[in-house]
Amino acid sequence: MQHSQGELIAVFDADHAPARDFLLETVGYFEDDPRLFLVQTPHFFLNPDPIERNLRTFEKMPSENEMFYGIIQRGLDKWNASFFCGSAAVLRRQALDQTGGFSGVSITEDCETAIDLHASGWNSVYVDRPLIAGLQPATFASFIGQRSRWAQGMMQILRFKFPALKRGLSIPQRLCYMSSTLFWLFPFPRTIFLFAPLCYLFFDLEIFTASGGEFLGYTLAYMLVNLMMQNYLYGSFRWPWISELYEYVQTVHLLPAVVSAIVNPEETEFQGDGKGRIRSGQPPFRNQQAVFYHFCRSAARLGGHRLPCLYRTL
């Protein structure tokens, strides 16, 4: 910023290429609203992420980020709470000068900058039209590294800024930012769901007690209704159960990252994604998942001995 003088600043990741009409589709909003600090557009990716590549669904399934950019950001925009996503955006220099440039307390400086400027009375606009094409992490290690940074950065914002009590934000904006930050606590309930069956197999702890009829009448009915509602409301943006798949895949790795950011938010540092790097022979999963796999396999063997006992009790 010190080496330029333009009134507006366009921001792109190094691996994001804008469309020719990017500025034509975004700059006009600043003329309409002198208090507008941000015009954000969705991120569109040319390559599959590791999960899409494994499942071979890149050409058929909606991308994992389409739920965020197609539904969530549009909803945030309704309440003047759509936030800067680090790329594919145009910002007003005057607004950034007011807050001393891009915020740097957290490692997700994009969202943090948006919170500070929204709290200062500035507005944002989300344009739901893909105007850039880029790359997403190609290896599982870089995918987890990216998500760990997002999760830790949001925990830092929760600790340092705490949107619910942030002065200057409207009540809807506070709720929107709290929702965006608290989402990254999903590793905690997912971990409970993962280990609840193992607690029964190893320690005979009955986390869920129900007969077969009760399960069919309540749990299965709820799951079917939930499946139909998801498919009806968001089927074109997210296939049913895909959110669960992505969250479970990330949980084993993100849980320690989230805990460390909550306990020691000052010590969390930025690390790059390493997008687009696929090394021959590089394992797609780290040691934690290998350990977890063998642990579940042992539990399954143990379960084979316990299930006959369970059936006898029923």
Q: Tens of pLDDT along 16-68?
A: 999 999 999 999 999 999 999 999 999 999 999 999 999 999 999 999 899 99
Assign 307 a pLDDT band (cuts: 50, 70, 90): very low
- DSSP codes of every residue in 101-123: SS--SSS-HHHHHHHHHHHTT-E
Q: In the Cβ-directed half-sphere of 63, how many Cα atoms lie within 13 Å?
A: 15
- Give the mean model confidence (pLDDT) for residues 236-247: 88
Tokens of 102: 């891009």
Task: Report the percent of the chain where pLDDT is more than 90.
Answer: 64
Say yes or no to pLDDT of 284 above 70. no
How crowded is residue 25: how many other Cβ atoms within 10 Å of its Cβ?
16
Assign 275 a pLDDT band (cuts: 50, 70, 90): low
- Give the mean model confidence (pLDDT) for residues 245-266: 94
Strand 123-126 with 8-11, pairing: unpaired
- Give the mean model confidence (pLDDT) for residues 175-200: 94
Q: What are phi and psi of 79, to 5 degrees?
A: -105, 20
- Give the mean model confidence (pLDDT) for residues 129-148: 95
pLDDT at res. 274: 57
Query: pTM of the predicted model, to two decimals?
Result: 0.84
Gap between the Cα atoms of 95 and 40, Å rounded = 15
Say yes or no to pLDDT of 8 above 80. yes
pLDDT at res. 308: 45
